[in-house]
Amino acid sequence: MIRPLWVIKLIRGARMQSEGSSSGKKTAVVIGALGVIGRYIVERLEAEGGWQVVGLSRRQGQDRPGVRYLSVDLLDVDATNAALAQLTDTSHVFYAAFQASAGAASGYASNVAANRDMLINSVSAIDRVAGGLQRVVLVTGTKYYGTHLGPYRTPSRESDPRHLPPNYYFDQIDWLTAFQQGKGWDWTELRPQTLCGFAPGTPMSIVPVIAVYAAICKELGLPLRFPGKLGAWRSIYQVTDSAHFADAALWAATEPRCANQAYNITNGDYFRWCNVWPRFAEVFEMPWAEPQTISLTAQMADKAPLWESMVKKYGLQPYSFEQVVAWPFGDYVFGSDWDVMSNVTKSRQHGFEAVVDTEEMFVRLLEQFRAQRIVP
């Protein structure tokens, strides 16, 4: 049913009033809640207070006060409809589910069917039962601009044209914007770049790649060499701290100006690997040396037994090699021998002004990884 704009505004106003006057709690459904983005959004909402959080993924998370997890395969329409029928109180959806296709991470964007269908199945099921839904925050990424394909126009702006498909982001955005027409809720799309966090089991983050690679080199008595392309060593790059992204997601969910808008979300600065690499070697108390281009996926293929022995030797957390690190993701990031830069002015102008010092972030996260016994 298509409602006129004044009816939608009236309904929204009534919702906000009832939200303020009755329970005062908002209910967030975080889809993909155990991933390198979803985990941090759940924790951010928990820390914020005033939110009931429901996390969705196939694996079961650990329930705690204010946070509960539902285990569901979003590709199973009947199971999704059945499990999500209870989410009648949903006020906000954060969509950060993802299924990679096999092989190189640069090809992940072409895994269209699964990623489109998970969004359609979950958002349709929630829209059907949640009359008080206010906003759907969709996480896409800078692959929107073709960062994974080769050189592109930088710094990229949200209004830049798409690259030639396939890219599942396009299918997700097109479906969501069409589905939202005439509804009482709106959407916000966020485009981060190369997340920096930790999510065991879905390790699409560059920090565990650096940490485990450094630990293995050190164990083998080797210096820390940049394993990527020579051009990538000196190109300009950018990343997004997962915790910073979660701050942005909370802003995007609650800021009126974000209605039906897309935003680039990165740390807000740029760097070159050649400048930060020596800092990584310092954290791991090891020498560094000139780059040597290798395929991490190929060279690390036989290192699981070595990693298992290191887990025992150094009393590390008992994550398997596959749970802790995604080597194709490392090859993808370290293979970008072109500038990768987003313009984040729009998000700043609309109220999200936080920035992260990327060099400081890397050092902090790598030190945390050592302190938490994820790596020695």
| Residue partners of 302: CB distance under 8 A and separation at least 6 | none
CB of 72 to ligand NAP, least distance (A): 6
Q: Is 232 in the site for ligand NAP (CB under 6 A)?
A: no
Q: Is 139 in the site for ligand NAP (CB under 6 A)?
A: yes
Mapped to the 3 state alphabet, what secondary structure does the chain carry? CCCCHHHHHHHHHHHHHHHHHCCCCEEEEEECCCCCCHHHHHHHHHHHCCEEEEEEECCCCCCECCEEEEECCCCCHHHHHHHHCCCCCCCEEEECCCCCCCCCHHHHHHCHHHHHHHHHHHHHHHHHHCCCCCEEEEECCHHHHCCCCCCCCCCECCCCCCCCCCCHHHHHHHHHHHHHCCCCCEEEEEEECCEECCCCCCCCCHHHHHHHHHHHHHHCCCCEECCCCHHHHHCCECCEEHHHHHHHHHHHHHCHHHCCEEEEECCCCCECHHHHHHHHHHHCCCCEECCCCCCHHHHCCCCHHHHHHHHHHCCCCCCCHHHHCCHHHHHHHHCCCCCCCECCHHHHHCCCCCCCCHHHHHHHHHHHHHHCCCCC
CB of 326 to ligand NAP, least distance (A): 9
In the complex with ligand NAP, which residue's Cβ is closer, 97 or 344? 97
Q: Is 176 in the site for ligand NAP (CB under 6 A)?
A: no
Which of 28, 29, 35, 51 touches ligand NAP by CB under 6 A?
35
In the complex with ligand NAP, which residue's Cβ is closer, 139 or 250? 139
CB of 270 to ligand NAP, least distance (A): 16
Which of 83, 87, 118, 214 touches ligand NAP by CB under 6 A?
118
Q: How far is CA 324 from CA 240, 304, 365, 371, in A?
A: 19, 11, 15, 16
The length of the chain in residues reads 376
Q: Is 195 in the site for ligand NAP (CB under 6 A)?
A: yes
Q: Is 98 in the site for ligand NAP (CB under 6 A)?
A: yes
Q: Is 32 in the site for ligand NAP (CB under 6 A)?
A: yes
Q: Is 204 in the site for ligand NAP (CB under 6 A)?
A: yes
Q: Is 146 in the site for ligand NAP (CB under 6 A)?
A: no
Q: Is 202 in the site for ligand NAP (CB under 6 A)?
A: yes
Return the range that interacts with ligand NAP (CB under 6 A); candidates 198-206, 218-226, 290-298, 365-373: 198-206
Which of 141, 146, 227, 335 touches ligand NAP by CB under 6 A?
141
Return the range that interacts with ligand NAP (CB under 6 A); candidates 195-203, 271-279, 334-342, 357-365: 195-203
Q: Is 344 in the site for ligand NAP (CB under 6 A)?
A: no
In the complex with ligand NAP, which residue's Cβ is closer, 75 or 355? 75
Q: Is 323 in the site for ligand NAP (CB under 6 A)?
A: no
In the complex with ligand NAP, which residue's Cβ is closer, 28 or 195? 195
Q: Which residue has the tokens 């196939």?
A: 58
Plot region of 201 (φ>0 → left; ψ -120 to 50 → alpha; else → beta): left
* Cα–Cα nearest to 38, from 125, 119, 98, 127: 98
Binding mask 36-75 for ligand NAP (x = CB under 6 A): xxx-----------------xxxx------------xxxx
Q: In whole angstroms, give the CA distance from residue 195 to residue 365.
A: 12
Q: Is 153 in the site for ligand NAP (CB under 6 A)?
A: no
In the complex with ligand NAP, which residue's Cβ is closer, 40 or 288? 40
Site size for ligand NAP (CB under 6 A): 31
In the complex with ligand NAP, which residue's Cβ is closer, 184 or 203? 203
Which of 34, 67, 262, 361 touches ligand NAP by CB under 6 A?
34
Which of 53, 93, 97, 126 touches ligand NAP by CB under 6 A?
97
Q: Which residues bind ligand NAP (CB under 6 A)?
A: 32-38, 56-59, 72-75, 96-99, 118, 139-141, 192-195, 199, 202, 204-205
